[in-house]
């Protein structure tokens, strides 16, 4: 299972020499999940991805395919020669929604194949592989919650006390990450520094929901609401429905409201989700993680001799063209 994430805090900082932006974010997974199943076949070659969402590419443009090919390569099993790998992806997380569904799918693919092939990679090793696929991928190896810095590669796990429910509201249209960064840049003359309050919590390893709710903010929200007025309308509706706080997640277009209990979240989902084109979900903020038992078929005995067990881990930083939309 591959959970969605929300950004409880998202500050977009300076642009780096490599074209990425540094960020400072408090991320948390929520209980809206995609599902992936893996099957190895010694009688075929290549990675074959099947998805129930016909709008998604299933070739090398998909982060799942990229992640699978990279794992096989680093395990000493090039996808075009060693064996066949079939992946079935059931999508529930909206696309281009600020919920990192594609990144979570990629992370779940790396973790699932690590288990299926018996590679023995640690979370840190899997995160370095994931970083080559996308900026948000490393976070999921340390979920459910973490402070994330750099372009996403600096991940410090944190613990949360207390429980909340979240209502996710997707307005029915995507917002492309690259455009969102360009839009944000066009609306501010300088990058504001972190506030003293955020600097004060930067070194913390534990939070309570009561601590975090007053701190929630997202640098993208006002810039995107100026061109997409419905985002502001949804936020106001969530607050009117009883949310303790409401915020844009990531670079949009999903907004979320934080609620104290399931009943109030359910009522808000029904109310705010009524408008045409919207999709709304009431989900828990418990420890959603893909690091549960994988839905996979074990490697066949005849394949055992072809699997490289515990290979030396090698990682080269990204260079050249990148499909990561955070680079501009």
Count the Cβ atoms, other than its own, within 10 Å of residue 200: 10
User: What residue ranges in 209-289 does DSSP mark as E strands?
Assistant: 217-218, 245-248, 255-259, 279-284
Count the Cβ atoms, other than its own, within 10 Å of residue 102: 26
184 membership: H or E segment, kind and range? helix 177-187
Q: Which two tokens stand for residue 315?
A: 């990682």
Per the CB < 8 A criterion, the answer to whether 48 and 87 are in contact is: yes
Kindly list the distances between the CA atom of residue 313 and the CA atoms of 7, 122, 273, in Å, as whole numbers in the listed order: 31, 10, 46
Asked if residue 65 has a cis previous peptide bond (ω within 30° of 0), the answer is no
Kindly list the distances between the CA atom of residue 11 and the CA atoms of 81, 150, 306, in Å, as whole numbers in the listed order: 44, 11, 46
Annotated catalytic, 235? no
* Catalytic entry in 5, 11, 219, 324: 5
* Catalytic entry in 34, 105, 136, 219: 136
Per the CB < 8 A criterion, the answer to whether 231 and 171 are in contact is: yes
Per the CB < 8 A criterion, the answer to whether 252 and 169 are in contact is: no
- How far is 180 from 267, CA to CA, in rounded Å? 31
Annotated catalytic, 211? no
- How far is 219 from 15, CA to CA, in rounded Å? 14
Which residues does the annotation mark as catalytic? 5, 136
């Amino acid at each position: 299972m591959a959970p969605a994430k929300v950004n409880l805090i998202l500050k977009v900082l300076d642009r780096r020499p490599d074209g990425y932006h540094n960020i400072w974010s408090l991320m948390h997974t929520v209980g809206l999940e995609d599902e992936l199943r893996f099957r190895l076949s010694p009688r075929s070659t290549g990675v074959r991805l099947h998805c129930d969402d016909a709008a998604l590419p299933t070739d090398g443009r998909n982060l799942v395919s990229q992640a699978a090919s990279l794992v096989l390569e680093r395990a000493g099993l090039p996808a075009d020669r060693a064996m066949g790998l079939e992946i079935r992806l059931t999508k529930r997380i909206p696309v281009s929604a600020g919920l990192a569904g594609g990144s979570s799918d990629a992370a779940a693919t790396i973790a699932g194949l690590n288990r299926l092939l018996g590679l023995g990679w640690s979370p840190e090793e899997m995160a370095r592989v994931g970083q080559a696929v996308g900026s948000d991928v490393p976070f999921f190896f340390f979920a459910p919650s973490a402070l994330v810095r750099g372009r996403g590669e600096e991940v410090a796990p944190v613990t949360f006390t207390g429980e909340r429910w979240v209502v996710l509201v997707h307005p029915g249209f995507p917002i492309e990450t690259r455009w969102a960064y360009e839009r944000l840049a066009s609306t501010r003359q300088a990058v504001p520094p972190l506030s003293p309050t955020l600097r004060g919590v930067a070194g913390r390893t534990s939070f309570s929901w009561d601590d975090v709710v007053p701190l929630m903010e997202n640098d993208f929200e006002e810039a995107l609401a100026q061109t997409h007025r419905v985002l502001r309308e949804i936020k106001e509706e969530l607050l009117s429905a009883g949310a303790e706080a409401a915020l844009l997640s990531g670079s949009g277009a999903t907004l979320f409201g934080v609620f104290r209990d399931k009943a109030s979240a359910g009522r808000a989902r029904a109310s705010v989700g009524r408008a045409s084109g919207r999709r709304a979900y009431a989900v828990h903020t418990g420890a959603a993680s893909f690091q549960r038992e994988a839905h996979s078929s074990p490697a066949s005995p005849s394949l055992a001799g072809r699997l490289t067990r515990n290979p030396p881990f090698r990682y080269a930083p990204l260079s050249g063209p990148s499909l990561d939309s955070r680079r501009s």
